[in-house]
Amino acid sequence: MIMLTIPAAIGYVRSDISGLRQQWDEIQIRSVARRLGYTLAKTIVSGPYTENPVQRLIDTVQTREAEAVIVPSADHFDGEVPTELVAVADVITVSPEQTYARWIIPPDAPADMGSR
């Protein structure tokens, strides 16, 4: 019998970016996770003085074996989704809803078409 597991996701919020909307942002993250078929394993909240927030997020993704990070917007990464995070998990922004997907095959790798 094949057992299917539900992939895990980690939520990420920067409290200084969310401000008074933090609770709403966390609700939105849970909603997107559920709609896309993820189990939300944990939501990490960082502030403006958190040391190495992206590395802490990467460590949590690896520890929890998460497939995705869901964040309210790229603003929570100072406007640009970190490539080192996308290397270990898909990153999904709630608004606008966009997925920054990991590449199984690097985008600049030559395609091996075999004998075609």
What are the φ and ψ backbone dihedral angles of 57, each rounded to 5 degrees? -65, -45
pTM of the model: 0.86
Tens digits of residue pLDDT in 11-28: 999 999 999 999 999 999
Higher-confidence position of 112 and 5: 5
Q: What is the pLDDT of residue 106?
A: 58
Residue 3 pLDDT level (bands cut at 50, 70, 90): low
Please report the pLDDT score of residue 1 as a whole number. Answer: 67
Q: How far apart are CA 58 and CA 64, in angstroms?
A: 10
Question: Is residue 99 classed as helix, strand or coil in its secondary structure?
Answer: strand
Determine which helix (DSSP H) or strand (DSSP E) holds 46, and give its type and residue range. Answer: strand 39-46
Please name which of 18, 83, 82, 87 lies closest in space to residue 46, comparing C-alpha atoms: 18
87-108 residue pLDDT tens: 999 999 999 999 999 976 555 6
The Cβ-side half-sphere exposure at 35, using a 13 Å CA radius, reads: 10
3-class state of residue 1 by DSSP: coil
Region 23-45 average pLDDT: 97
